[in-house]
């Protein structure tokens, strides 16, 4: 597990959800936004954290490398007993031990976790993967661009959308 805290000023007009009501109180108190990054590719994980670091929000990113580790983190098991609940999950599709669809199915089936927004970030453009993710109630599906600048732009767009545009239920 890797955890990085990026001290960036909070967005002034944040309009976010259930996690947004938490987010607004977090940023008002100077607390970071909690993001769980589930990514087995070290290069993609670094590019994602670098892009979020250069964003406008103060983030705490926890990186885990596969779905088994992600579920242990979300369920606060073992070394993750004191893990904070994430405000957003960025989830890769193709990973060892437990893939992104399996993680997504468990998250959305769990009453304690299902309201956490999950963004599937993957290289797969296969229609069957996209349909399967939405059938499992992913909040959005983003194809990772190969080009570095486009990749960074996609990550920044996700951050902007989920923490500046979206209004989620407070329940």
Domain layout of the chain by residue ranges: 2-163
Task: Report, as ranges of residue numbers, the positions in the chain whose pLDDT lies below 70.
Answer: 1-31, 55-57, 167-171
- How far apart are the C-alpha atoms of 77 and 8, rounded to whole Å? 30
At 149 the pLDDT is 80
pLDDT digit string (tens) for 29-58?
456 788 899 999 999 899 888 888 776 667
Which distant-in-sequence residues (6+ apart) come within 8 Å of 59 by Cβ? 4, 5, 6, 8, 32, 33, 35, 52, 53, 159
Per-residue pLDDT at 55:
67
Instruction: Find the length of the chain.
Output: 171
Q: What is the pLDDT of residue 56?
A: 63
pTM of the model: 0.79
Specify the residue for token string 């486009």: 150
Domain at 2-163, CATH class: alpha beta
For residue 50, the model assigns a pLDDT of 85
Q: What pLDDT does residue 16 have?
A: 35
């Amino acid at each position: 597990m890797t955890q990085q805290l990026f001290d960036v000023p909070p967005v002034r007009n944040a309009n976010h959800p259930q996690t947004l009501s938490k987010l607004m109180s977090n940023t008002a108190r100077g607390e970071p936004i909690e993001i769980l990054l589930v990514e087995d590719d070290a290069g993609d994980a670094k590019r994602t954290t670098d892009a979020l670091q250069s964003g406008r929000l103060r983030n705490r990113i926890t990186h885990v490398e596969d779905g088994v580790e992600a579920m242990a983190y979300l369920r606060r098991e073992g070394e993750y007993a004191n893990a904070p609940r994430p405000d957003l999950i960025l989830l890769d599709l193709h990973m060892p031990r437990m893939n992104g669809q399996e993680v997504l199915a468990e998250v959305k089936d769990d009453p304690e976790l299902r309201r956490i927004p999950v963004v599937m970030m993957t290289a797969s453009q296969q229609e069957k993967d996209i349909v399967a993710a939405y059938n499992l109630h992913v909040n959005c599906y983003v194809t990772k661009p190969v080009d570095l600048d486009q990749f960074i732009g996609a990550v920044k767009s996700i951050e902007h959308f989920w923490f500046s545009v979206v209004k989620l239920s407070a329940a």
